[in-house]
Structure 1
Amino acid sequence: MAHVPTAPTGDTGKRVTVNGIDMYYEERGTGAPVLLLHGGIVDHRSWRFQIRELAQHFRVLAPDTRAHGRSTDTGQPLSYELFAADVVAFLRALGIDRTHIVGFSDGGATGLLLGAEQPALVDQLVCISSPYHTSNYREGIIEFLAKITPETLYRTVGPEYRTAMTMAEALHPNRESWLAFWRRVVNGLWTRQPDMPLDRLADVRVPTLVLHAEHEQFYAREHSEEMARTIPDARLEIIAGATHAAPLERPNEVNAAILRFLSERCGSNRSMTTGAARL
């Protein structure tokens, strides 16, 4: 059954039809486009610290992935390939030929596929807390994800990401809808994908910044290091003090790293600086 999102008072976004779904997105700022691809389970609001900062320099587009947030769903199996196809259709629908992409976790996995398969669409890529293959996960994580309940994950992550998940849950019409969605994403998709072979990363021929959290719970630093080594034009930065949810936990540091990276290659934005993150 297709996910039917609610539209609370204060809904300020737009919608566009792509690949049979009604995709919701927020748009802020002007200039070169930056596409923000959020992580699994949550929605575009998990980028709240980044949207306001980046929108001072760029045209920021923050969609809800299919079946997530306020975007609808066709009920077909979820995959990063499907998410990537939705992104391509989304950009075409908006008449955008090329964009920077910043992806967190699931969004970064989608970004890697786009960098490998649609490099003409991607100006620069930032991957935050993003594995490229399920083999990256620490021992026992796949088994953990196959059985985990929302309550268990709420106790595992920090308060910022717990709040983002609670906000996403509130958009579902009832508990049964939320749990069905949870099973599709957490107990399903996350146990099967991403599945990009290491040598496939060599096809990501776009400038790439890999951001790894110092205290990442799900996979080791060595996998981010090998990602940065294998992508032809990539570098690795460590976000000190952060766990998996770095954009929410260390927004100032994440924003500064993104802006430094983008400014190096955007001549008109070389003077960009970042201030304190604000709600």
Structure 2
Amino acid sequence: MREAVVGAGATPTTGETAQRGPPQAGWAAVSYAEVNGLRIWYEWHGAGRPLVLLHGGFGSTEMFAPLLPALTERRNVLAVDLQGHGRTADVDRPLRYESLADDVAALTAQLGLTEVDVLGYSLGGGVALRTAIQYPGLVNRLVVVSAPCRRQGWYPETLAAMARQDEAVGERMRGTPAHRRYHRVAPRPADWPRLWAKSGELLRRDYDWSAEVAALVLPILLVFADADSVTTAHMAEFFGLLGGGHRDAGWDGTGRSAARLAVLPGLTHYDILSSPALPAAVLPFLTHPAGPPG
């Protein structure tokens, strides 16, 4: 049983046990942890307060590579491969936002982290939101990128594409960049069609977390592209559930809510993670005092 700790910029090697707490400043640690019957992969980068990154569907920690230079200047980033994705092999249970959130909470507990900020994109945005709902004492600040709080927040054509996801579609996706990344790092590359089948089953399930979202009291930043897969009407609805957009904030800003909404111009659901506009929106929220001035 061992863990891997490598210098920044070095090639990660596979470890076996969870390192308790962040690595020393300027280093990266990569390893596995046993949580909830799952052998989950994680990576540490940078220094400072812990920031958990949760990737999108069919992705992995590598999705955040464009953001790491900016984020790791100020934060100790904990990037996680969710069940069946990246270097984390699938197990005999369905994919559910709720159980994936349980995995994130169990990992942070095993690493000795009692309070973290969380940023999730798309699928990971739903998991991040569920983590804040299910573990309110764990999440200090939350960033949800390109994810709705209810299924009908996606555009109809997006919902239709989600409904068609199955093993046959996964087979047709062989050779795509997402498949090549998966094949390079997955413990069982042959599970690719299985991931599509289980993801499709998850994405066809209805959900509406509006009431639970309205009850959240932590600072939350919602980030969308102006040509996202989430409707602009839902962006406003989601923000409204968090207390935003109900009134003029006033000349001194005291009528402002603790929630924040960023709609990034000229981007889509598929390229928002690669834009420098994303860390430019996220980092001030993570580092500045929350709530209205006063």
Aligned counterpart in structure 2 of residue 28 of structure 1, from 31, 45, 54? 45
In the TM superposition, 1:186-265 aligns within 5 A as: 187-192=200-205, 195-216=207-228, 218-232=229-243, 233-250=258-275, 252-265=276-289
- Alignment root-mean-square deviation, CA: 2.3
Flag the structure with higher strand content.
2
Give the corresponding residue for 2:246: none
* Distance of 1:174 and 1:72 partners within structure 2: 7
Give the corresponding residue for 1:144: 161
> Structure 2 regions of 5+ residues with no counterpart?
1-9, 14-29, 244-257
Give the corresponding residue for 1:163: 177
For residues 183-215 of structure 1, give each alpha carbon's deviation from its aligned partner in whole angstroms, at most 9, with x where no partner exists. 111x2111215x133222112221000001111
Larger Rg: 2
CA contact (8 A) 1:99 1:122 kept: yes
Distance 1:236 1:141, change over 3 A: same
* Distance of 2:32 and 2:182 partners within structure 1: 18
Indicate the percent of aligned positions where both proteins have the same amino acid: 29
Give the corresponding residue for 1:10: 11
* Distance of 2:191 and 2:233 partners within structure 1: 37
CA contact (8 A) 1:78 1:189 kept: yes
CA contact (8 A) 1:36 1:101 kept: yes
- Structure number with the bigger relative contact order (C-alpha 8 A, sep ≥ 6) is 1
Flag the structure with higher helix content.
1
* Distance of 1:145 and 1:126 partners within structure 2: 23
Aligned counterpart in structure 2 of residue 79 of structure 1, from 96, 111, 116? 96
Aligned length: 248
Aligned counterpart in structure 2 of residue 177 of structure 1, from 181, 185, 191? 191
TM-score (norm 2): 0.77
CA contact (8 A) 1:42 1:165 kept: no
CA contact (8 A) 1:116 1:201 kept: yes
- Decide which moves more: 239-248 or 28-37: 239-248
Aligned counterpart in structure 2 of residue 37 of structure 1, from 44, 54, 59? 54
* Distance of 1:192 and 1:239 partners within structure 2: 29
